[in-house]
Each structure stands twice: as C-alpha cells, then as structure tokens.
A and B are shown apart, each in its own frame.
Chain A
Amino acid sequence: MTAATGLVDRRDVSRIPARLAGVVEFLRMMSRKPVGLIGLIGVLFFLFLAYVAPLIVPLQDQVDVTAIYAKPSWTHPLGTDFQGRDVVNQIVFGGGDIITTAILAALFSTLIAITFGSIAATVGGRLDQIILAITDVALTIPQLILLIVIAAIFRPSSFFALAVILALLQWPALLRQIRAQVLSLKERDFVEAARSLDLGLLHIIFREMLPNMRSYIVIHFIIAMTLAIYAQAAIMFLGLVPLSGKNWAIMLYFAYNQGALFFKDSFFYLMGPIMAIALFQLSLVWLASGLEDVFNPRLRN
C-alpha cells in the first residue's frame, strides 16, 4: 500500500469493519463449497498440530525398550516405534520441519515465477524468448529424477537448503501462467491509464497487475506445497538426505527400514505418518479447490 492510501486507510475507521466484512464474506463464500471449508479446517488443524501443539505437549524422546512396538493404548494412542517411543508424539513434533520446508519451497518458487514471469512479459523480445526457453527445458526434465540426483550430490542438511532445491524445480508452471496473465493485463485499460499517469513500472507490476493475479498465485502456492511435501517424502524415504530431527517422512523411513512392515502391532506406527501426510495433502487440495471458487468472479453471484 502506498504511503498516501495507508494514511487514509488508517484514519478512516470505516475501513476496519470493511476488513472484517471481507473476512466474513470470504468465510461465507468458502462455506458454499463444503469441500473447501473442510480443506481450510484441515489445513488450520495441521498448522496448529505442527506449530502450536509442540509448545504445549512435552517431547517424549527417551528410548523405552520395554515398550517397543506397543499396541495402541491410552498412553500411546497409536502405539510406539521400534525404540518404544510414542507415535502420536512423533507426529506432533514431526510436522514442523516438513511443512516449513514446503512453505518455503512454495514461497521461493512463487517468487521466482512472479519475478521472471513479469520480466519476460513486460520486457519482451529476446529476454522473453530466453526465459521461455529455459522454462520449457525445466518443464520437460523428469522432476523427481532430477531431484534425486541433486539431493544425492548436495546432501542438503538444512530445511532451508532443501526448500531452495525444491523451489528450483517448481517454478516453471506458474511462470508460464504469470507471463500469460501479465501479457493480457498489460493491454488492459487500467494499466494503460497507470502508464499515462506515469506511475512507474514497479507500481504497475505490484499494485495494478499482481493483485489481479492473486488467485493464480495463491492456488499455485498451495499446489506447490503439496508437491514439495511429496518430494520431501520421496527423497527422505529413499534416505537421500541426512536424516536428522523429527519429520513425518523420516518416521516413514525408519518405520520401513526397521522392519515395521513385519510386525503386526506396528500397523499404526506405519500408518501414522502416512495418514498425516495424506490428510494434510488432501486438506491442501480441497482448500485450493474451494479458493478457486472464491476467486472466480463468475461463480460468485
């Protein structure tokens, strides 16, 4: 928001109810598509589980050889793992890293796509062709295989580094969409007006164009998160990154490699992280589909 509008907005009290009304309107439109609302609730639940619950629940990290692969019980609702540690506790503590990495990866890929997509469309010419060519190459490479190769070579140890690698693989699809959108928005009357008012390229891109692409951006962001989670699960399950910390995918790796498949009481140990990942992904996809309706003006009225 520019300085001037910022001041106007803050001074005007009627703005606040307007904002609230926006939230209410958003919820009302989401509620028209139950799937979207369930998705929203699911996503909020998992975010709570991953970021707030660990602050409340104590970590139960100690090995208990007396309780290896314990059956579900009141103390261990989903049983225990190969070292006798509580599965639910691991799920609570294992969400943070994988979700943070997914968010960061989605954020980076979105930023790359927006920056270079806008540049390609506004500058045009040779630069546009070069960016497009790179995008097409990136789109055609089998992503998982490339990811495995990169992960194997660099062995990223921080979730930040992992997010960067994931982001590098995800930007092409959105870039193409952003480029197409900018190309069409460039010809719109209000963008032309901004140009004759000499408001500058940054204003035109960030204030006039980007807000009109928010549906693409938000939905891409969510889809990028789901892809990042799958990719993490895959490379961690394959043991391609240093396995440290708590993480649903790492749980899965250990469950598999410690032979949980062969113990009939470890069913919940195996299913725990799988269900956590699957439910979170499903929530994201449903949220995206609900948002699609909210953003589509033709479906509004």
Chain B
Amino acid sequence: MTPPLIELDRVSRTYTTPAGTITAVDDVSLQLGESETICIVGESGCGKTTTGRMLAGLLRPSSGRLLFEGADVWEKKGKDLARFRRAVQLVHQDPYASLNPTRTVAQTLAPPLAKHKKAHGRAARAAMISLLERVGLTPPADFLLKYPHQLSGGQRQRVSIARALTVDPRIIVADEAVSMVDVSIRISLLDLLHNLSTEFHVTTVLITHDLAVARYFARKGRIAVMYLGRVVELANTEPLVSDPAHPYSTALIAAIPEADPIITRTKKRVSLKGAEVPSLLNLPPGCVFHPRCPLFEPGLCDVVVPQLGDLPGGRSVACHVALRERQPAAELLGVR
C-alpha cells in the first residue's frame, strides 16, 4: 500500500502560558490522500488552526510526527525540507494581511517563479498571466501592476491562491480563507479551491468554523470535527451533516441557523447541559465533552478518554456511547 500523501500521526501541541500549560491539540491523527478535499471544523479554541499549521509544517508538534509521502518531515534537512515547504502552501484568513502592501501583484508572483521555475522576463510574465487566469482574475494584464489596496478582499484572496500556485504545491491549507470576504462571493472562492483538487490534484484542506461552508466545500470529501483539541468525529461529508455520530457534532448541526425559514423554524434542537466551554487550562477528565453531553454516562465518560472508532458507513467517532450502541448520536438523541 502506498503511504498517504500527508499524515499527522498522533500529534499534540502544548503551550506554556503564565497561567499554566495548555494543550491546544491533543493526540490528533489525520491521513490525507492525493487530490482529497477535507474540512477541519470547530469553534474557536478547538485547535483547528494549530492543527492546520502543524499540517503545513509551520509549527512543530510537541509530540507525534508529520509524515509527507511516508517520511518524517521534522527529520528532513536542507533540500528535502525546502521541497516539503513548497509542497504545502497556506492561504490565510485575512485578505488585508496576507499580501505585502508595498508590492504589486507582479512583484508578489515573480520572485517564486524566478527562484523555483527559473522563469524570467517574458516567460515569467506568461506564467503570471496564466496563473491569474487560473484564479479567475481577468483580464490578467490589468491586475499585474495593481497594489493590494487597489483590490477587493475576494480579489486579494485570489492573488494569495495564485501566489501559492507559483510553486506547484501538492497540498493547500486554507485557514478560514473565506470568512472575511463577502457572503455573495464566498462560493466562487470555494469553487476555485475545489477545482484545484479536481483539476490539478492538489489536496485541499479548509479550516472553518462554518459547517455550511464545510459541507459545500467538502461535498465530495470528508469533514473532521474538533472540540477542545481533539478530533471527535471524522467522516464523509454527507453522512456527517445528515446523521452526525458525535453528540457534539449533533448539537452543533442542530444549533446552526439555516438560510431557509421553514427548515430553521422546524429544526430539532439538542439541549446541552452547560453553556460555557471548559477552559483549556482546566480540561475535564475523560471525554472533554462530558460536562455538556446529553449522552453522558457517569463512571464511563468522565473517566476514560474515548478514541476514534469506526461506525458503519465509513465514519469514525470518539464517543463511548455511540460506539457501544453502534449508532450515531443523532439517532440516539432522536434528531435525525
């Protein structure tokens, strides 16, 4: 069997703060194949961004390994490491911070082309034109000499994507890449990222707090739901949104207001026991979700940390009760 393209192997990341040590990501494993689309979903503080940065090799895990084509990235040196760096590119959240305000689009795209493709002069210009066309900035010649402040948020994100594409990446990690652009144009950006995976075999990872965006983007892929540093559910997108297996994903999906008055009025809700998310400084023992969980069983959930296990239908869930009953939480809670 060929190894997955990129893999997080039981990675954790801890931070030392004045108030104590916090575990931002705890024992997360994720395997991504070529041209896959996957979304990492969760609320603020769930560790999704930290996970994305570890996946992109920008942050060293406190423990665990990052494997690229089967080899440990953090053991790599020199040329190998540089090759990995280029293979994974990040698209940032804030279109106002991700481009250098003092450089034109051409000045942003040219250096990586010159350094890694030896493209200069006419060749560089042709490459830039084709990149801008690929990210939907037409007519491309109009954009080459523009400074970031002359572009809209959506256009800037497109330039960011074009910049990432200058080095032919294998993986693109997009961290909340659409949350700061206008609703009316989010879909076209998501489509652009999605096409990279279908047409150019780039594996795309979208990190988002918005499940509707995740569902649309990863409609042919998978979603990983994170809660307080752990992946609590990992499944194909449609089963996950229609029939969530973890009580947390179930609560999340039930709570989301929908852009459809009838659905949103008639949606079944899941009531949680506590409103406040526990502090990362003082995580509950056992399953981190147990203090709020409607399926909580004393003596089990507050003692043993649940591991991801398989349920029928190709889904993994880290919930003692769902795994024991062999049924997704949505069924157990009657909110299907």
Direct contact of A and B (CB under 8 A): yes
Say yes or no for A58: interface residue by CB 8 A criterion: no
The one of B94, B107, B144 that contacts A189, using a Cβ cutoff of 8 Å: B94
Q: Which residues of B contact A5 (CB under 8 A)?
A: 104, 106-107, 110-111
Q: Which residues of A contact B332 (CB under 8 A)?
A: none
Q: Which residues of A contact B167 (CB under 8 A)?
A: 197-198
Residue among A1, A192, A196, A208 with the most chain B CB within 10 A?
Answer: A196
Determine the distance from Cα of A199 to Cα of B92 in the docked complex, in whole angstroms.
18
The one of A7, A190, A208 that contacts B97, using a Cβ cutoff of 8 Å: A190
B102 touches A211 (CB 8 A): yes
Q: Which residues of B contact A212 (CB under 8 A)?
A: 100-102
| B126-156 contact mask (Cβ, 8 Å, vs A): 1 or 0 | 0010000000000000001100000000000
- Do A18 and B145 contact each other (CB < 8 Å), given the known contacts A4-B111, A188-B97, A192-B90? yes
Could you tell me the distance in whole angstroms from the C-beta of B89 to the nearest C-beta in chain A? Answer: 6
Say yes or no for B103: interface residue by CB 8 A criterion: yes
Q: Which residues of B contact A3 (CB under 8 A)?
A: 114, 120-121
Determine the distance from Cα of A57 to Cα of B121 in the docked complex, in whole angstroms.
48
A211 touches B58 (CB 8 A): no
Could you tell me the distance in whole angstroms from the C-beta of B54 to the nearest C-beta in chain A? Answer: 14
Determine the distance from Cα of A18 to Cα of B104 in the docked complex, in whole angstroms.
12
Say yes or no for A14: interface residue by CB 8 A criterion: yes
Q: Which residues of B contact A195 (CB under 8 A)?
A: 85
A7 touches B145 (CB 8 A): no
The one of B98, B110, B113 that contacts A193, using a Cβ cutoff of 8 Å: B98
Say yes or no for A203: interface residue by CB 8 A criterion: yes
A190 touches B121 (CB 8 A): no
Could you tell me the distance in whole angstroms from the C-beta of A44 to the nearest C-beta in chain B? Answer: 25
Mostly helix, strand, loop or mixed at chain A's interface? helix
Residue of A nearest to B142 (CB): A14
- Do A197 and B166 contact each other (CB < 8 Å), given the known contacts A208-B100, A212-B101? yes
Q: Which residues of A contact B192 (CB under 8 A)?
A: none
- Do A197 and B86 contact each other (CB < 8 Å), given the known contacts A9-B106, A189-B92? yes
B111 touches A207 (CB 8 A): yes
Residue of A nearest to B53 (CB): A192
Say yes or no for A73: interface residue by CB 8 A criterion: no
A2 touches B85 (CB 8 A): no
Q: Which residues of B contact A197 (CB under 8 A)?
A: 85-86, 89, 111-112, 116, 163, 166-167
A198 touches B103 (CB 8 A): no
- Do A211 and B115 contact each other (CB < 8 Å), given the known contacts A193-B90, A193-B160, A196-B90? no
- Do A8 and B82 contact each other (CB < 8 Å), given the known contacts A193-B92, A197-B167, A211-B100? no
Say yes or no for A15: interface residue by CB 8 A criterion: yes
A193 touches B144 (CB 8 A): no
Could you tell me the distance in whole angstroms from the C-beta of B131 to the nearest C-beta in chain A? Answer: 13
Residue of A nearest to B173 (CB): A196
Residue of B nearest to A211 (CB): B102
Determine the distance from Cα of A44 to Cα of B89 in the docked complex, in whole angstroms.
48
B160 touches A4 (CB 8 A): no
B100 touches A190 (CB 8 A): yes
Determine the distance from Cα of A4 to Cα of B108 in the docked complex, in whole angstroms.
11
Say yes or no for B253: interface residue by CB 8 A criterion: no
B110 touches A8 (CB 8 A): yes
The one of B86, B102, B121, B125 that contacts A196, using a Cβ cutoff of 8 Å: B86
Query: Which residues 58-79 of B sit at the A interface, judged by CB distance below 8 A?
Result: 58
Q: Which residues of B contact A208 (CB under 8 A)?
A: 100, 103
Residue of B nearest to A199 (CB): B111
Say yes or no for A200: interface residue by CB 8 A criterion: yes
- Do A7 and B103 contact each other (CB < 8 Å), given the known contacts A197-B112, A198-B115, A203-B111? no
Query: Which residues 195-251 of A sit at the B interface, judged by CB distance below 8 A?
Result: 195-200, 203, 207-208, 211-212, 214
B98 touches A190 (CB 8 A): yes
The one of B104, B110, B122, B166 that contacts A2, using a Cβ cutoff of 8 Å: B110
Determine the distance from Cα of A3 to Cα of B111 in the docked complex, in whole angstroms.
9
Q: Which residues of A contact B106 (CB under 8 A)?
A: 5, 8-9
A198 touches B124 (CB 8 A): no
B144 touches A198 (CB 8 A): no
Q: Which residues of B contact A14 (CB under 8 A)?
A: 145
B115 touches A12 (CB 8 A): no
Q: Which residues of B contact A7 (CB under 8 A)?
A: 120-122, 124-125
Could you tell me the distance in whole angstroms from the C-beta of B82 to the nearest C-beta in chain A? Answer: 5
Say yes or no for B40: interface residue by CB 8 A criterion: no
Residue of A nearest to B97 (CB): A189
Q: Can you list 16 A-B pairs with a CB-CB distance of less than 8 A? A: A1-B107, A3-B120, A7-B122, A8-B128, A8-B144, A11-B125, A12-B144, A193-B98, A193-B160, A197-B111, A197-B163, A197-B166, A198-B85, A198-B86, A198-B116, A212-B101
5 tightest A-B contacts by CB? A211-B102, A7-B121, A4-B110, A189-B92, A4-B124
Interface residues of A (CB under 8 A from B): 1-5, 7-9, 11-12, 14-15, 18, 188-190, 192-200, 203, 207-208, 211-212, 214
Can you add 8 more A-B contacts, CB < 8 Å, to A189-B94, A200-B115, A212-B100? A4-B110, A4-B124, A11-B125, A189-B92, A197-B166, A198-B85, A198-B115, A199-B112
